[in-house]
């Protein structure tokens, strides 16, 4: 359970915690059981009703807004030179400075309008719980190089990669929107990793009628001439179309 009282979801003391503290506490509980997948599943089942108390409304940007976004010149060079031409109607977005390197969740937050920096922990919690609670529906995915339990050990101990296939798989269902992964063909058209990661991830309960999607580009914070070959990405950034609009998403 969330606290030491096994018979209730939240005791009086825990009920005083704010939203940020609630999700931080859940993350700590998940972290403590990172090496015990059965324990993680049991924990997630017991605290999943808690997430229903925190309905989450936000907007996902679809179009580049010159007043809100900055273009990432290096990422755009990779996008325009080594990705299919159809993506040239998009702009790679520069995220807040972190030596030019960002993980998957910072990338997703870059698509939100007015995202609170503290949202990252909540997104991670929601995504990990989605994967754990629906493990049997995801376990047959052949794209992932790690099993889900292996991924969670690394992710919950903050030893994971900038982005994993599991992050994409879960987040599509967590946000209930298709996520398209775009990987530049810098190492040639036969690059196994590029062919593997150029794909779209659909929500678990997708009915194929919702064509909204968000795009994530694998890139590097260094120019190509400064990178060792074969080229590998060290960050991910969001892509936006070159017009202004947004779509609203809600999950609980």
- Span 26-61, pLDDT tens digits: 999 999 999 999 999 999 999 998 888 888 777 888
Cα–Cα distances in angstroms (integers) from residue 215 to residues 72, 127, 183, 239, in the given order: 15, 18, 11, 5
Q: Average of pLDDT values for 7-13?
A: 60
- Would residue 191 count as lying in a domain? yes
Residue 248 has pLDDT above 80, yes or no: no
Tokens representing 206 are 């997708």
SS3 label, residue 226:
helix
- Would residue 27 count as lying in a domain? no
Residue 101 has pLDDT above 60, yes or no: no
* Total count of domains within the chain: 1
If one compares 86 and 96, the residue with the highest pLDDT of the two is: 86
Backbone angles phi, psi at 112, to 5 degrees: -85, 145
- Rounded to an integer, what distance in angstroms lies between the CA atom of residue 184 and that of residue 92? 13
- Would residue 30 count as lying in a domain? no
- Would residue 38 count as lying in a domain? no
Rounding to the nearest 10 degrees, give the CA dihedral for residues 2, 3, 9, 12.
-140
The 3-class secondary structure across 173-195, one letter per residue, is HHCCCEEEEECCCCCCCCCHHHH
Percentage of the residues of the chain whose pLDDT score is greater than 90: 52
- Would residue 87 count as lying in a domain? yes
Alpha helices in 18-164 (DSSP H): 19-32, 37-51, 73-82, 104-109, 119-133, 135-138, 148-156
Domain span holding position 66:
59-251
Q: Average of pLDDT values for 188-210?
A: 86
- Would residue 63 count as lying in a domain? yes
- Would residue 51 count as lying in a domain? no
Sign of the Cα pseudo-torsion (103, 107, 108, 110, in order): positive
Residues in the chain: 252
Residue 9 has pLDDT above 80, yes or no: no
CATH number, domain with residue 242 = 3.90.70.80
What pLDDT, on a 0 to 100 scale, did the predictor assign at position 98?
53
- Would residue 66 count as lying in a domain? yes
Task: Find the range with the poorest average confidence among 21-35, 55-69, 118-132.
Answer: 55-69
Q: Average of pLDDT values for 113-133?
A: 90
């Amino acid at each position: 359970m969330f606290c030491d009282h096994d018979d209730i979801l939240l005791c009086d003391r825990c009920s005083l915690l704010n939203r940020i503290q609630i999700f931080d506490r859940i993350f700590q509980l998940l972290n403590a059981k990172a090496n015990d997948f059965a324990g993680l599943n049991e924990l997630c089942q017991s605290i999943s009703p808690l997430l229903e108390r925190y309905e989450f409304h936000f907007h996902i940007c679809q179009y580049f807004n010159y007043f809100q976004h900055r273009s990432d010149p290096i990422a755009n060079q990779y996008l325009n030179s080594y990705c299919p031409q159809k993506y040239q109607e998009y702009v790679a977005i520069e995220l807040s400075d972190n030596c030019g390197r960002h993980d998957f969740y910072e990338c997703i937050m870059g698509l939100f309008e007015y995202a609170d920096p503290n949202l990252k922990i909540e997104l991670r919690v929601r995504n990990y719980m989605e994967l754990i609670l629906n493990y049997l529906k995801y376990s047959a995915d052949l794209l992932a190089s790690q099993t889900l339990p292996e991924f969670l050990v690394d992710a919950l101990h903050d030893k994971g990669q900038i982005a994993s296939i599991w992050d994409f798989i879960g987040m599509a269902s967590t946000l209930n929107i298709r996520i398209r992964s775009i990987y530049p063909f810098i190492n040639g058209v036969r690059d196994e990793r590029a062919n593997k990661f150029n794909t779209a991830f659909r929500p678990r309960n997708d009915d194929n009628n919702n064509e909204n999607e968000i795009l994530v580009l694998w890139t590097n914070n260094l120019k190509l001439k400064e990178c060792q070959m074969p080229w590998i990405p060290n960050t991910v950034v969001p892509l936006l179309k070159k017009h202004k609009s947004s779509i609203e998403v809600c999950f609980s």
